[in-house]
Structure formats: C-alpha cells, structure tokens
Amino acid sequence: MKCLILEDGSVYQGEGFGAAGETKGEVVFTTGMTGYQEAITDQSYADQILVFTNPLIGNYGITLADYESLEPGIKGVICHQVAHHPDNWRMQTTLPDFLKKLNIPGIQGIDTRALVKKLRSHGTMRGQIVNSVAEAVQIAQELKQEDLTQGAIGRVSTTRSYPVPGSKRNIVVVDFGIKNSILRELAQRDCNCIVVPYTTTAERILSLHPDGVLLSNGPGKPSEMVDAAKMVREVEQYLPLMGICMGHQIFALANGAETFKMKFGHRGFNHPVREIATGNIGFTSQNHGYAVKAESIAATDLMVTHVEVNDGTIEGLRHKKYPAFSVQFHPDATPGPHDQQGIFDYFMQMIDQGKEANQHA
C-alpha cells in the first residue's frame, strides 16, 4: 500500500508502482488524454507530483524517441490505473519499469476524480507519497511550512553550453528546463543552435553573434529569475527574441509586467487560445502554474497578442519597439495539437528580416 497525504490532512490510499521510496512535491494535474511519457519527462514538472486525469496510463509503454529530457525532475506520478500489459510496436519498456529506473515513485488505485476536484476547488497543494499513514498529521503540518519549488530552474538547467548543429540560422537557446521538442522544431527549420545555461549573461550571448535568441520553458517561480530578466532587457534591443512558457513570463518581467500564481494552472493539451489580431482560435499544449497579470501590461511597451478562451489569461505578448515576442503555450506541441507550430515560422521570418535589414544597413 502507498498513500498520498496532502497539506490539508487529506489521505488517499492506493497501490504503489515505479520506485519503492517516498517523495514529496507540489501536487498538480494534467487534462491530457495521452502523452504521459512526454509529460513525465517535461522539466516544467520538476519538483511536482503529477496527477493524470485520464483513468488509464501506460498502455503504449515507453520509447526513447519520446523523451523530453533524459533526467526528469518530476517527483511522483499518480493515476487511477496503470496498464499491466502495454503493447506498441515502438515500446522499449513499461511505464512502471521506466519510473523505477528513474527512481520516481508512482501510486495507482486512488480516486483521481475526487483528488482533482479538490485541487480545482482549493488550488494546488503540497503533498507526499508515503508507505504508511502513521504520521499523516505531522506530515501534513510539515508540508504547510515547506517551499518545494524554490530554485527549481537551477536544478534542471544545463550547466554547460552545448551545440545542436544546423546550417541556416544561428540561435542561442537559453535553457530554463528545455523540452527536446523545442530543439527538434528549430532543427527542422535548419537552425544552428547553442544551448546555454539560464545564468548566461547578455554580454556572453551577444559575443556568440547569434541571429536570434529563444527563451525556453521551465519550472518554478518566474520572480526568481531576476538576472535572466536583466539579460533579456539588454538582448532584446539587439536581437530577435522569442519566449516560450517560462520564457514568456521572464520576457514579461523584463519589460515591467508582473506575474501571479494561478489557482491550479493550465496543464494539458486542450487549451483554446484566441489570437487577438485575427480572432482565430487554436488548441494548445500548456504546462504552467503562473501567468502574467493583465493589469500590469498597460504601463509597459508590451501588447497582448493571445488570450486563453476559458479564463482570459494572457497567452502571448509582443514588444512594441523591438522584434521580440512570447507565448505562454507550447507551440512545439509534443504531445498535443499542432495548431500553433506556425509560431516558430513567425520567429524565423523575424530573424530573416533582421538579417536582411542588417545587410542593407
């Protein structure tokens, strides 16, 4: 038996799978119907325990090709039922064995509908997966006092720069917890990328003479990224810049906007987003617990380009003076709908226009 204990004292009993140990983290949920491997290996879930709302996961196994990171920072996995006999021609291992190898505990058999309803009603909570409920009251009290996501980006960002070779455009990618699918989208557009740590300065980035800069997704609190915001303020004056998810929030902070923690965030692959200029609505892949405050935009040089249809939160920003923009959703859409992959093409056009202007200057 394994149990999930929440900071409010709630206890959910189930059966363990994956790693045998105990774990704790911020308990969040995803509404995605598939893509469990990509979600589990997405570093935006670092220091979190992920609840899957789809009642069955693991049914098509695990394959190396679908990793978003090789050493995911997720703390635990919760589902109603894990598949006991997965089958797929691409499968290399099972989900339980995969989690065991990565030392990530899982728990199945609990009422995930009741758990998600609680999180939707009361907001994201800290939780701990344990092997015994003997000290549930004490554990709940301790969870209330802990900040489980402090410094998350520092734990998942690369510590050394590395290249992802290409031939056409030179892109510096700042790694706040990057998904492999973002690099794959850039590679498909013939980009020669250098991935750098989140602590990289503007001086260092400019010394690499890139054609553009991309700010990646990542976990934790955007307000911690003070130095990164300073870097963005300097770089955006000279180079085309694109931000995704955490990169979007840092771009907003760099330009004087503010962020706030959402009640339970957006996590899944079915979030409708409206582009303000055209009125077009596309479905998007999302994974974030913070958003940009709409009322903080007016005093900045930013304009809102996209909004979430369901709750009206900001999903896209563009700078009024510089060739710089950001989106809160994941245009790489792995997994998820491909409605917004054209965002990468827009970035390429912005870069090409900048290069052409420089040639004629």
What's residue 350's pLDDT?
95
Rounded-to-integer distance, Cα 48 and Cα 218, Å: 12
Structure-block tokens of residue 59: 């049914």
What's residue 210's pLDDT?
97
Contact 104, 133 (CB under 8 A): no
Greatest Cα-to-Cα distance within the chain, rounded to the nearest angstrom: 73
Q: For residue 129, which of 93, 101, 103 has the smallest C-alpha distance?
A: 103
pTM: 0.96
Q: Is 300 helix (H, G, I), strand (E, B) or coil?
A: coil
Structure-block tokens of residue 346: 């827009």
Contact 24, 130 (CB under 8 A): no
The neighbouring-strand residues paired with 77 are 50, 106
Q: For residue 319, which of 228, 231, 248 has the smallest C-alpha distance?
A: 248
Contact 175, 197 (CB under 8 A): yes
Output the CA torsion sign for 29, 316, 216, 62.
positive
What's residue 359's pLDDT?
65
Rounded-to-integer distance, Cα 157 and Cα 95, Å: 25
The neighbouring-strand residues paired with 26 are 48, 126
Q: Residue 335, preceding bond cis, omega within 30 degrees?
A: yes
- Indicate the helix (H) or strand (E) that contains 260: strand 259-275
Catalytic residue annotation: 245, 330, 332
What's residue 35's pLDDT?
93
Residues in the chain, how many?
361
Per-position pLDDT tens, the chain of length 361: 899 999 999 999 999 999 999 999 999 999 998 999 999 999 999 999 999 999 999 999 999 999 999 999 999 999 999 998 999 999 999 999 999 999 999 999 999 999 999 999 999 999 999 998 889 999 999 999 999 999 999 999 999 999 999 988 999 999 999 999 999 999 999 999 999 999 999 999 999 999 999 999 999 999 999 999 999 999 999 999 999 999 999 999 999 999 999 999 999 988 999 999 999 999 999 999 999 999 999 999 999 999 999 999 999 999 999 999 999 999 998 877 778 888 999 999 999 987 777 665 5
220 burial level (CB within 10 Å; 0-12, 13-18, 19+): buried
Q: For residue 97, which of 150, 158, 20 has the smallest C-alpha distance?
A: 20
| Domain residue ranges in the chain | 2-149, 153-360
**CATH class entry, domain 153-360:** alpha beta
For 126, phi and psi rounded to 5 degrees?
A: -80, 145
Query: Per CATH, the architecture of 2-149 is what?
Result: 3-Layer(bba) Sandwich (3.50)
Structure-block tokens of residue 265: 């965030």
| DSSP annotation string for 319-361 | ESSSSEEEESSBTT-SSS--TTTHHHHHHHHHHHHHHHHHHH-
| DSSP annotation string for 84-101 | SS---TT--B-HHHHHHH
Do the domains at 2-149 and 153-360 have one common CATH topology?
no
What's residue 341's pLDDT?
83
